[in-house]
C-alpha cells in the first residue's frame, strides 16, 4: 500500500484479555518502530526492528508487551493480560533507512486501545 | 520516559494570525524535528533541523534550532484553517531514539 497501515483502528478489551495489534509498513522499508501515545501526550518509543531483528526493546513497559516481525515486513505488537493503564493509541512507523535515529519516519494512523 | 516540554500547551487564534511555539529540553540534541498530528492520524514530519542556530522554512512554517541545542522554535505565518492540529517537537541525540515533546494544540477561531 501507499502508507503504513495499522489494524484494527479501534480495540476495546476487557482487563486481563490479550490483544494483538498489526502493522503493515511501507513496502521495502527496513526499519519499523512502535510507539505508545497516551491521551494528551506525545508518542513514546516502545521498540525498534531492522528487518526481522528486534534491535531495541528498551521502551516496552513490562514483560506483558511483546513485538515480532518474523519475515521483516508485517509486525505484531501483543499485549498480554491487558491493564487499564495500557489504554493508549499505539502507533507504528516505518523508514527506508537502516538506522534507529532516522527522522524520516512514516507513521500509521494508530490503533486506539481501550481497556475496560 | 523523558519528554520535551512544549509551550504553550494550547493556543486559540484567529485565522490570519501568526503563531509561535517552542520546545525546551534539559539535555542537548543534535537533531530537532517538528511534526503535526491531525485527529485520528499519526504525526507527519514538517521540518528537520540539524545544526545549532539553523533556521529552516517550509512554506509558511519556519523553525529554528536553538544555539544552546536545548531548545527549538516553530513559527507559522498567516494561519489558515488546515493548520489546526497538535504540533510536536522531537529530538535526537547521537544514536538515541527519537524523543517527543508534550505537544501544542492549535485551534483557529473563525
The pLDDT, as a whole number, for residue A22 is 98
Each residue of A41-58: pLDDT tens digit? 999 999 999 999 999 999
Distance CA B31, CA B91 (A): 6
Nearest CA in chain B to A106: B44
Q: Do B98 and A48 touch (CB under 8 A)?
A: no
Give A-chain residues touching B4 at CB under 8 angstroms: 42
Each residue of A18-41: pLDDT tens digit? 999 999 999 999 999 999 999 999
More confident residue, A66 or B3: A66
The grid coordinates of residue A38 equal: 497516551
With a cut of 70, which residues of chain B have pLDDT below it?
1-2, 95
Cβ proximity of B87 and B21 under 8 Å: yes
The pLDDT, as a whole number, for residue A104 is 79
More confident residue, A94 or A99: A94
Residue A15 has pLDDT above 60, yes or no: yes
Nearest CA in chain B to A93: B42
Provide the shortest C-alpha distance from residue B91 to chain A (in Å).
Answer: 9
The pLDDT, as a whole number, for residue B12 is 96
User: Helix or strand or coil: residue A85?
Assistant: helix
What is the rounded average pLDDT of the residues A50-73? 95
Nearest to A93 by CA among A11, A25, A16, A18: A25
Amino acid at each position: 500500500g501507499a502508507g503504513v497501515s495499522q489494524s484494527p483502528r479501534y480495540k476495546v478489551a476487557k482487563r486481563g484479555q490479550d490483544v494483538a495489534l498489526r502493522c503493515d509498513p511501507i513496502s521495502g522499508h527496513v526499519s519499523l518502530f512502535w510507539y505508545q501515545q497516551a491521551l494528551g501526550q506525545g508518542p513514546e518509543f516502545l521498540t525498534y526492528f531492522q528487518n526481522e531483528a528486534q534491535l531495541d526493546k528498551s521502551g516496552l513497559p513490562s514483560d506483558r508487551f511483546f513485538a515480532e516481525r518474523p519475515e521483516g515486513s508485517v509486525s505484531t505488537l501483543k499485549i498480554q493480560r491487558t491493564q487499564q493503564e495500557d489504554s493508549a493509541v499505539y502507533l507504528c512507523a516505518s523508514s527506508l533507512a537502516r538506522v534507529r535515529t532516522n527522522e524520516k519516519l512514516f507513521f500509521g494512523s494508530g490503533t486506539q486501545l481501550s481497556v475496560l | 520516559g523523558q519528554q520535551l516540554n512544549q509551550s504553550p500547551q494550547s493556543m486559540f487564534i484567529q485565522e490570519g494570525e501568526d503563531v509561535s511555539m517552542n520546545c525546551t529540553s534539559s539535555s542537548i540534541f543534535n537533531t530537532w524535528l517538528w511534526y503535526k498530528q491531525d485527529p485520528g492520524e499519526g504525526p507527519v514530519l514538517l521540518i528537520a533541523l540539524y545544526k545549532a542556530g539553523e533556521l529552516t522554512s517550509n512554506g509558511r512554517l519556519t523553525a529554528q534550532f536553538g544555539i544552546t541545542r536545548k531548545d527549538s522554535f516553530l513559527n507559522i505565518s498567516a494561519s489558515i484553517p488546515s493548520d489546526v492540529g497538535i504540533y510536536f517537537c522531537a529530538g535526537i541525540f547521537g544514536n538515541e531514539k527519537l524523543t517527543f515533546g508534550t505537544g501544542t494544540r492549535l485551534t483557529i477561531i473563525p
